[in-house]
Structure 1
């Protein structure tokens, strides 16, 4: 009986350790995805940022050629994370302040953007579910 309790305790500890490793791996994957997304935005790579949008969101909100041309008129001058929250292991949010300048008029301003992220267990990746920043109407 003593050996059975010891075995059950060890199995419980092993299960806890495996669950913790999965959570850490998911958190690391989120960090990498957010870093990559930040880089695409900083470099003005809208197509790269578009590729990190949730596929269901992209299907429901297709990016038109006109919208793509509008994004090309802007230069991202800064991208700063103001706040980051988690809580749910499959959801995350960040509040971002993005500085932009119009390439034609050189008018500059900042926009606050709230990124929402969701973990897709089937694809084993994190997707942005908030869409691209709306630099014209605010978001």
Structure 2
């Protein structure tokens, strides 16, 4: 009878270990799928000029510390995004994800098109169960 119990314990331990590995893999897939969904929503908001919607995907602590002014929002409303290209993405050792993007935009007043690059940084918030953009929206006016 003790051989049977030992065998049962061995199989039970192996089953629990396999279940843990499976659940860890599922959690990683869920986290990966959620970053894909959040980044898609963010890029769609930027492409369609919904900067207020994109702003809602920024880290709440950042939004609180750096509230967007009416003047800043008006500046975003003066541009039209014509293209948004995901160039590269990588996971950092701390678990954050950085994504390099290229954005084409037109100034609605001058009709001049230009291209800019922007690095997004995303962090996972386990309490909220979502990814947040670290920092603010792209600064299309840097250097001028």
| SS at structure 1 position matched to 2:10 | helix
Aligned residues: 138
Tell me how large the CA RMSD over aligned residues is.
1.3
Contact 1:114 1:130 in 2 (8 A): no
* TM-score, length of structure 1 as denominator length: 0.95
Q: Does 1:65 align with 2:70?
A: yes
Q: 1:52 aligns with which of 43, 49, 57?
A: 57
**Could you state the TM-score of these two structures normalised by the residue count of structure 2?**
0.92
Q: Which 5+ residue runs of structure 2 have no aligned equivalent?
A: 1-5
Partners of 1:92 and 1:21 in 2: how far apart? 19
Does the 8 A contact of 1:86 with 1:93 survive in 2? yes
What per-residue deviation string (whole Å, max 9, x for no partner) do you get for residues 84-137 of structure 1?
A: 111558411100000011000011111100000011111111111131000000
Flag as ranges the 4+ runs of structure 1 deviating above 6 A: none
Structure 1's unaligned 5+ residue stretches are none
Larger Rg: 2
